[in-house]
Amino acid sequence: MAIPVIMDCDPGIDDAFSLAMAIAADDLNILGVTTTYGNVGLSYTTANALRILDWFGSDIPVYPGIDRALLGKLVDASEYHGATGLEAPEIGPPTNSPQAEDAVSFLIRTLQASQEKITIVASGPLTNLAVMLRLAPDVTSKIERIVFMGGSTDYGNDSPAAEFNMLCDPHAAQIILDANVPKTMFGLNVTHQAIATPARVRAMRDLGNDTGRVFADMSVFFEKVYRERYGFEGSALHDPCTVAWLLKPELFETRRMRVDVETNSGLSFGRTVHDIWNIAGNSCHTDVALNANVDGFFALLTDLLSRLR
Ligand code: RIB
Ligand code: CA
């Protein structure tokens, strides 16, 4: 049976890879895509989700979410993703419109009505999910797992201490981390292993289909900051780690531990704090990814892209 999922995302180039992989995967049934601010503003992330789904001929509905953090100023990651968040001319403007229903209402309605538990794949700031839990705490009984990209057991990327998705809305992230819901977390410590090197980009291009070519080009566009700031030999494909784990969990080593976020202002604001030894004795609901079989990850990613247009 296909796993029912809702994709909460801020496309975003790496979010686009996640969506493509999920669309291609027979083992996932995408009930809807909810969008959040993040890499770029909500209007762009919503348009980009529609662009990607249209380009693949998918009629999966898109529900616009919340356009800013619970507290704090709006930031973006356009230096990585470009002004529109998806600088891919071949993926034209959206031909469909977003749903009139907002993301949080869709999440609550769908979870409450569902006869089976639903997995939420989150690859942006967690504001939509936090508001969902505040408005309808009962939905935790209908969530199979929240699989999310965010945080880091080592260093930050949007501050020395904090990863972008967490830093966008640390208070929302803490609400999710406190929730009595199974979670799997992909932080920079593991997603910075998933580097789209020239050989891996060539493998995408060698697929010979539109998807391989266009996504290879997007990966190259995404490289700029990774090469200049991190000295990587390619872009880090963060968000696809979530979908890859859902499809092939054996590709990743994970360890159950308590995770919290620093919500007090200062040097470590937005940093995830990992109690790997359970020193504080708090409840643990988060399986933290520590290592990846990177060749296996890219083999899966490339195989899924080969199944698309
Ligand atoms: O820090 C990387 C994360 O922030 C990824 O999800 C990327 O898409 C951005 O949202
Ligand atoms: Ca993202």
Burial 171-201 (b: 16+ CB within 10 A, else e): bbbbbbbebebbbbbbbbbbbbbbbbbeebb
pLDDT of residue 50: 98
Is it the case that residue 204 has pLDDT exceeding 90?
yes
pLDDT tens digits, one per residue of 130-165: 999 999 999 999 999 999 999 999 999 999 999 999
Is it the case that residue 309 has pLDDT exceeding 90?
yes
Cα angle: 230, vertex 236, 58; to 5 degrees? 155
Q: Could you identify the atom of ligand 1 that is nearest to the CA of residue 238?
A: 5
Parallel, antiparallel, or unpaired for β 143-149 and 183-186? Answer: parallel
Quick one: pLDDT band at residue 56, thresholds 50, 70, 90? Answer: very high
Q: What is the mean pLDDT of residues 107-120?
A: 98
Q: What is the mean pLDDT of residues 37-55?
A: 98
Is it the case that residue 39 has pLDDT exceeding 90?
yes
Give the domain range for residue 290. 3-306
Instruction: State the CATH number of the domain containing residue 116.
Output: 3.90.245.10
Q: How far apart are CA 296 and CA 288, in angstroms?
A: 19
Q: Which of 131, 140, 163, 180 has the alpha carbon at shortest distance from 8?
A: 131
Is it the case that residue 186 has pLDDT exceeding 90?
yes
pLDDT tens digits, one per residue of 262-291: 999 999 999 999 999 999 999 999 999 999
Output the residue whose Cα is nearest ligand 1's atom 1: 164
How much of the chain exceeds pLDDT 90, in percent? 96
- Burial class (CB within 10 angstroms; exposed 0-12, middle 13-18, buried 19+) of 168: buried
Q: Is 238 a catalytic residue?
A: yes
pLDDT tens digits, one per residue of 61-83: 999 999 999 998 888 999 999 99
Q: Could you identify the atom of ligand 1 that is nearest to the CA of residue 123?
A: 6
Residues with CB under 5 A from ligand 2 (ion): 10, 12, 15, 123-124, 239
pLDDT of residue 229: 94
Say if CB 85 and CB 78 are below 8 A apart. yes
Count up the domains in the chain and report the number: 1
Ligand 1 center to residue 157 CA distance, Å? 9
Q: Is the CB of 164 under 6 A from ligand 1?
A: yes
Task: Kindly give the interhelix angle for 198-205 and 294-306, rounded to the nearest 10 degrees.
Answer: 20
Q: Is the CB of 124 under 6 A from ligand 1?
A: yes
**To the nearest whole number, what is the mean pLDDT of the chain?**
97
- Structure letter (DSSP) for residue 89: T
pLDDT tens digits, one per residue of 223-242: 999 999 999 999 999 999 99
Ligand 1 center to residue 189 CA distance, Å? 13
pLDDT of residue 72: 80
Ligand 2 center to residue 280 CA distance, Å? 30
pLDDT tens digits, one per residue of 170-181: 999 999 999 999
